């Protein structure tokens, strides 16, 4: 070794317009997935449209929505025809004097979720219960919407 430091050139970041015609589109897709992915990481994506399970039996349709930290007083459930809408608001925790927040990851604000039901329901018989952060809605089907087995004649 001669005492000289070896120098290697580091590659500089390539501008988006020199990385190829599809690179910009891939970058935009990655960015949009972060904000719109239904199974996204974090609460924010789920708070705008809370996740739900829909279960159908012969006589009812049941829905379960995860709404942790939301007061039942802040939840509104509406049925119009075969569309169900659940909306509400998650209030901000008040910062007390002497407290310092180091991380704030839980989203606050309004949310709404509308879903088309697979059949007509008796909107005057809907039952909604909220327990342990889960809203459970039971919607009885109309008599016209119940499943009937048809005998096949030969």
pLDDT digit string, tens, across residues 113-133:
999 999 989 989 999 999 999
Question: What pLDDT is attached to residue 36?
Answer: 57
- State how far the Cα of 101 lies from the Cα of 136, in Å rounded to an integer: 33
Clarify whether residues 66 and 142 are in a common domain. Answer: yes
Q: How many whole angstroms from its chain centre is CA 27?
A: 23
Q: Is the pLDDT of residue 3 over 70?
A: no
pLDDT in tens, 76-107: 999 998 899 999 988 877 777 788 878 777 77
Task: Identify whether 43 is part of a domain.
Answer: yes
Range of the domain at 73: 49-92+108-147
Clarify whether residues 114 and 42 are in a common domain. Answer: no
pTM of the model: 0.62
- State how far the Cα of 45 lies from the Cα of 52, in Å rounded to an integer: 13
Pairing state between β 134-140 and 60-66: antiparallel
């Amino acid at each position: 070794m001669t005492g000289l430091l070896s120098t290697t050139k580091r590659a500089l970041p390539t501008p988006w317009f020199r990385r190829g015609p599809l690179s910009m589109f891939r970058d935009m897709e990655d960015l949009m997935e972060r904000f719109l992915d239904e199974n996204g990481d974090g609460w924010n994506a789920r708070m705008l449209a809370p996740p739900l399970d829909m279960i159908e039996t012969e006589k009812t349709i049941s829905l379960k929505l995860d709404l942790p930290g939301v007061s039942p007083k802040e939840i509104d459930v509406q049925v119009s025809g075969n569309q169900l809408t659940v909306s509400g608001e998650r209030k901000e925790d008040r910062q007390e004097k002497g407290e310092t927040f180091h991380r704030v990851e839980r989203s606050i604000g309004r949310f709404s979720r509308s879903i088309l039901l697979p059949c007509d329901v008796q909107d005057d018989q809907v039952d909604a219960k909220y327990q342990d952060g889960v809203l459970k809605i039971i919607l009885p089907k109309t008599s016209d919407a119940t499943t009937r087995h048809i005998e096949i004649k030969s």
